[in-house]
Amino acid sequence: MRYFIEIAYNGKNYHGWQVQPDAASVQQTIEEALSTLLRAKTEIVGAGRTDAGVHAKQIFAHFDFAEAIQSVDLVYKLNSFLPPDIAIKNILTVKEDAHARFDALSRTYEYHICLEKDPFAIDFCHKLHHSPDVVKMNQAAEILYTYNDFQCFSKSKTDVKTYNCSVTMAKWEKTGNKLVFTITADRFLRNMVRAIVGTLLDIGFEKITLDDLHNIITSKNRSNAGTSVPAEGLYLTEVTYPKELFL
């Protein structure tokens, strides 16, 4: 039987989602816990691969197990077994061919920026000393809707068949001394969100113009886009699937 497992984690202590040869990863930590509790080697396949230091408020992974699982009981045991910075939210029975990565309809990320020193946000937001122009950055965010090829925001030497992504929502919101950028798309390239945020901040600080953004995107050249912002401000917040996947 195939199961989806809903996960949240603080990425500070992990070298990203994916298993690494000589570094702690979220995937490996969960696989080891599942294998111990189910008494069988259990591998999981995630909806995406967050980089080192990136957080997830919601991410799904799938795994197979020969027997029926008491989800509430296993969730409790996993949360007791796992370190405090990884939480299991739910375990759901799905169709046998359901895939956590390929069946995802959309993914949503948030990027958090603090505009003043906040001792309670260390490792959870990017600190800026000055406030950028949020109106201009929202004008720039709307430009993303008009393009599909985002190679200019992709990490170089990425093994993908296409750089096409469909952005369905991109906006900045300012509340008090905090800025949050939210973006939704059907898929994301490696480092894409952090590169987009860095480029939009350049517009907010008037280092480049809205016309420059059009030129950056059409150039398909990563070196023309802005600097990637630090990982600690980035959160994967939602992954959506077709309802018919779940039993």
Residues noted as catalytic = 51
**What's the token pair of residue 173?**
């919101």
125 CB contacts (<8 Å, ≥6 apart)?
A: 112, 113, 114, 118, 178, 232, 233
Beta bridge partners of 111: 181, 234
Tell me if 189 sits within 8 A of 123, measured CB to CB.
Answer: no
